[in-house]
Structure 1
Amino acid sequence: MTEPTIYSSLGEAMRLGNIPWENHATVEGIVEAIGIETLYAHNSYGIRAVRQEAGPDLWIAYGNTSGFASEEEARRAAPELQPWPDRKKGEWGVTHPENKNRDGGGTRRERPAAETCPHCFTEKASDGSCLCD
């Protein structure tokens, strides 16, 4: 069994976890509010975020984050979003602004051109990090 990939930064996790740039500010706010210790790659569901303090792991995907311990915690971490119950786990989640569940009302803005690292030739994240960081 192989060891799970640990991301070196949230920027790297969002870039490699295929989180759309429209959701980066939302995810950054959630991670800051909850206090995340480690970010792991999760093949079938984006990013697994392990808390610094006790509580369930957060699962950050393309269009949502789940794993909040309560509705109040979800509201505190993402005050601009409406929390929903995850009945299977007894936890809570929020749907990101850009998601795949839209009923046709969502529009996607064009992504600005990103800078490419001259050393590893990857696209730099919004925080300026790349794979050589």
Structure 2
Amino acid sequence: MIGDENQKLIPFIEALQLKKIPLTNQQFLEPLSKEIPALGCTVLDTYIKYFREDSFAPLEIHYGYTNGFQSETEVTDIFGDVERSESTRIKGTWVVHHPENKIRDSGATKTTQTTEQNPCSECGMLLSQTGVCDYC
């Protein structure tokens, strides 16, 4: 059964755009859909639930990381030698860290800004033209 969210499944790329995942991370995640085909995704408050076509539990795609890979090998087969770790949230699974994330110290993450937008002091996402953060 596909979760209790009672939401219609949407394509992966649409979920990434709805959740406003940074373009750098969207590009990083491109190999995921080729290596682990999805039935579809749902967009929840804090993450995207990526329903796999295989029999394994869905992946959880957050702003700066994806959680729920079955093994370290699964991560490296998809993304190569990238920053990864054992999950502390979902026992027995692995996490891949996205290039743009909130895990690293400030200054270690590259962001592209226009002169008209400033980063939020809390989360680092670019503020809207009104100066209000859409994420916090």
Q: 2:36 aligns with which of 8, 11, 34?
A: 34
In structure 2, distance between residues paired with 1:2 and 1:68: 21
Alpha-carbon distance, 1:48 to partner: 0.3
Runs of at least 5 residues in structure 2 that lack an aligned partner in the other structure: 115-136
In structure 2, distance between residues paired with 1:96 and 1:64: 5
In structure 2, distance between residues paired with 1:97 and 1:37: 25
Sequence identity, in percent? Answer: 28
Structure 2 residue aligned with 1:120: none
Scaled by the length of structure 1, the TM-score of the pair is 0.73
Partner secondary structure for residue 34 of structure 2:
helix
In structure 2, distance between residues paired with 1:51 and 1:18: 21
* Runs of 4+ off more than 4 Å: none
**How do 1:19-58 residues align onto structure 2 when only pairs under 5 Å count?**
19-43=21-45, 45-58=46-59
* Larger deviation, residues 73-82 vs 16-25: 73-82
Partner secondary structure for residue 51 of structure 2:
strand
Structure 2 residue aligned with 1:3: 6
Q: What value does the CA root-mean-square deviation take over the aligned residues? A: 1.9
Alpha-carbon distance, 1:75 to partner: 0.9
Quick check: 1:5–1:41 contact (8 Å CA) kept in 2? no
Runs of at least 5 residues in structure 1 that lack an aligned partner in the other structure: 112-133
Q: Report the number of matched residues.
A: 109
Alpha-carbon distance, 1:80 to partner: 4.3
> What is the one-letter code of the residue matched to 2:67?
S
Partner secondary structure for residue 42 of structure 2:
strand
Quick check: 2:22–2:100 contact (8 Å CA) kept in 1? yes
Q: Does 1:61 align with 2:62?
A: yes
Q: 1 or 2 for the larger relative contact order (CA 8 Å, sep ≥6)?
A: 1
> What is the one-letter code of the residue matched to 2:109?
G
Q: What do the CA deviations read for 1:51-107 (whole angstroms, capped 9, x no partner)?
A: 111112111111001110011001112114122101342100100000112212222
Scaled by the length of structure 2, the TM-score of the pair is 0.71
In structure 1, distance between residues paired with 2:31 and 2:5: 31
